[in-house]
Amino acid sequence: MALKIPSSMEECLYFTNRLLDNNGSVLAWVYRKICPKCRKAKMGKPVDKGRIKMRADEYVCPACGYAEKKQEHEESLIMEAQYTCPKCGKEGESSVPYIREKVKGIPAYVVECQYCRAKIPLTKKLKELKK
């Protein structure tokens, strides 16, 4: 499969590098999507007076101005991850849809180990899974 690790944060919509229990780790990222209308630029949050709107409800193409709602834009993206599974200890790579699922009551992006099929949840930074 050989996933390509991003060279800068400008290429990514989401990036995380986490250490898990039992010597597990996950490096996950989501590349920004190319504008479906003009195919010239990558879509991003709108820029207002030189500043990026952090809580915007849409993504905008800087070249042509095409706008797409946040939810439908993010559901069309793919999360790529390199991991060391905390259950079996093997290293692997995976691509999953960029959609949060509920895991033990907490919304999380879920990466599945290709060897033992264990689910590796990526929650928000300070959220702990329920026991």
Residue-level pLDDT at 109:
95
Name 128's bridge partners: none
Q: How far are the Cα atoms of 5, 34, 78, 84, 88 from residue 59, in angstroms, in the given order?
A: 23, 11, 16, 33, 39
For residue range 68-120, what is the model confidence (pLDDT) as tens digits?
999 999 999 999 999 999 999 999 999 999 999 998 888 999 999 999 999 99
Whether 64 and 40 have beta carbons less than 8 Å apart is answered as: yes
Of 28, 16, 115, 10, the closest CA to residue 79 belongs to 28
Whether 73 and 36 have beta carbons less than 8 Å apart is answered as: no
**12-20 LR contacts (CB < 8 Å, sep 24+):** 13/74, 13/77, 13/98, 14/79, 14/98, 16/122, 18/122, 20/86, 20/120
In this structure, what are the phi and psi dihedrals at residue 104, rounded to the nearest 5 degrees? 55, 40
- Segment holding 107, helix H or strand E: strand 106-112
For residue range 26-44, what is the model confidence (pLDDT) as tens digits?
999 999 999 999 999 999 9
Question: In terms of pTM, does the model score above 0.85?
Answer: yes
